[in-house]
Amino acid sequence: MAEEEVKTNETPVVEEVIVEETETYAKSGKKSKKHIEEVKAEEERQARKAERAAEAPKAKGAAPITRPKIERRGKKYQEAAKLVEKGKTYTLKDGIELAIKSSPVKFDASVEIHARLGVDPRQADQNIRTTLVLPNGNGKTVRVAVFAPIDVCKAAKAAGADIAEDEEFIKQLEKGVIDFDVLISTPQYMPKLGKFARLLGPKGLMPNPKAGTVTADVEKAVKEAKAGKVEYRVDKQSIVHIGIGKVSFGADKLIENANAFFESLKAQKPASLKGSYVKSVFVTTTMGPSIAIENLYN
């Protein structure tokens, strides 16, 4: 009897049956699983975008908020930039000395001059392009190639040319092999280089009479190239860029090279130009801050 009472007092166990709702998708179209997931992902993206916009409100039509350019630079550059007084124009001597001091890199950086001119490069007589030999060289090891007749190649080799060949040189170009920094050719050999204009032109290696790399006096051209002859030309923005040496040169040699460049630039002033010739000049090093230089060459 006791056992029966215990059994009758037990609460019956009711098993819960959980029915999972299964969502049905169409094979294609707006009700397909892929489309629904894409819509959901886009809604989430728009929500995140709205949150960001709410955190950084801005006036209608205003430009996106960005950090100043100096803040986006590296720490070493920022420290170097502190040495340059904002808005100040330095003398050539002080500017070059400051450029050397403010170079933020460990390697022997190049020292460059950038001059903004008042010329119009679209005008033939104002499209400035010339060469000069820097008194102290530019600090770069220049590999010189000569494409000329065999007898001229021998003289070029004696003058210091790294490559001086005839038909063998053409075979190398056909393979796309370029292992030189300057290419010098005689006038009669220039037609043979015509088919390589697309290979050499974009690299600035196509010989040109204005650059002194198309000449009958190949021996002289080789010696000048090895001695530090550089070419400069005005770009589409009317700016001339030129490297005048390395930080290791020291201020005196760099100033001498800079003066040689400015005298050369002054001699290139177009006769038809009206108004200011040199608008502004800056000196800088590789990855270093720009320093405004007094304009003495108008």
Domains of the chain (ranges plus CATH)? 77-139+228-298 (3.30.190.20), 141-227 (3.40.50.790)
Confidence of residue 68 (pLDDT cuts 50, 70, 90): low
For residues 195-206, give the mean pLDDT: 87
Instruction: Quote the percentage of the chain above a pLDDT of 70.
Output: 83
Model pLDDT for residues 230-251, shown as the tens digit of each residue = 888 999 999 999 999 999 999 9
Task: Count H helices and E strands in the chain, helices first.
Answer: 10, 9
Residue 9 has pLDDT above 60, yes or no: no
pTM of the model: 0.64
Residue 250 Rama label (left phi>0; alpha psi -120 to 50; beta): left
Distance (Å, rounded) from C-alpha 97 to C-alpha 91? 10
The pLDDT of 153-173, averaged and rounded, is 89
CB atoms within 10 A of CB 263: 11
8 A C-beta contact, residue 58 and residue 65: yes
Q: Sorting pLDDT into bands at 50, 70 and 90, what band is 273?
A: confident
pLDDT digits (tens, 9 = 90+) for 10-65: 555 555 554 454 566 677 777 788 888 888 888 888 888 887 777 665 555 555 55
Q: What secondary structure does DSSP assign to 103-137, as a single string? A: ---SS--EEEEEEEES--TTSGGG--EEEEE-TT-
pLDDT digits 0-9 by tens, 52-64: 777 665 555 555 5
pLDDT for the residue 39: 85
Token pair in block for residue 7: 């059994």
Instruction: Give me the helix-helix angle, 251-267 and 92-101, nearest 10°.
Output: 130
User: What 8-state DSSP symbol labels residue 106?
Assistant: S
